[in-house]
Structure 1
Amino acid sequence: MTKADIVNEIAKNTGIERVTVLITIEAFMETVKESLVQEKNVYLRGFGSFVIKKRAQKTARNISKNTTIIIPEHNIPAFKPAKELSLAVKK
């Protein structure tokens, strides 16, 4: 399902104009992105959490050059589904 599909479904189910729904979804995604950039987790009860995970520094190998490189510590965004969502998907 794409963003356009989501906009169409919400507009159809609520009767709200597609343009308004699109603006709302864009604002939601921007707010989540800004929160994660500031290393603030986003919790949506019953749906899931957008969290920042810290990856530790590690040593990796470049096989083609046969050298080792150090990958520094860094943050990555992750989504952790709520228990209700996980159970619904399993059924």
Structure 2
Amino acid sequence: MTQRSSVNKTELIEHISQHADISKAAATRALEATIDAVRATLRKGDTVSIVGFGTFAVSKRAARTGRNPRTGSAIKIKPARVPKFRPGKALKDALN
């Protein structure tokens, strides 16, 4: 078995299709629906908790001053809402 650094969306759909015994089209729809549900929930500022996997949440990043790497001059960076993921205990245990 070769060591992989990442799995892309197509490979994930293939895995879902094989292990759930459904077509690739159905696996694609299921994955898209899951991603859309997480995105919509986070957009509202709520969290998504999947027991045994983890929690998706929105974090607020304050405005700050940064540096332009080319010129070294100070630039203002606007505040932003960013997605965060906290792995659950079962996921952590599965990795160690």
Give the TM-score, by structure 1 length: 0.85
Partner residue of 2:79? 73
* Worse-matched range after superposition: 5-14 or 42-51: 5-14
In structure 1, distance between residues paired with 2:86 and 2:43? 17
| 2:46 counterpart SS class | coil
Report the CA distance between 1:8 and its aligned residue: 1.5
Q: How does 1:19-30 map to 2 (within 5 A)?
A: 19-30=25-36
| 1:64 counterpart SS class | coil
Paired residues, what number?
90
Partner residue of 2:3? none
AA paired with 2:94? A
AA paired with 1:3? K
2:46 to 40, 43, 49: 40
Report the CA distance between 1:72 and its aligned residue: 2.2
User: Unaligned 5+ residue runs, structure 2?
Assistant: 1-6
| 1:59 counterpart SS class | strand
Quote the sequence identity (%): 29
> Deviation string for 1:11-69 (max 9, x for gaps)?
21222111111111111101111111221111111101111111112111224334212
Partner residue of 1:64? 70
| 1:29 counterpart SS class | helix
In structure 1, distance between residues paired with 2:70 and 2:53? 43
Give the TM-score, by structure 2 length: 0.82
In structure 1, distance between residues paired with 2:73 and 2:20? 57
In structure 2, distance between residues paired with 1:14 and 1:27? 16
In structure 2, distance between residues paired with 1:63 and 1:19? 45
User: Unaligned 5+ residue runs, structure 1?
Assistant: none
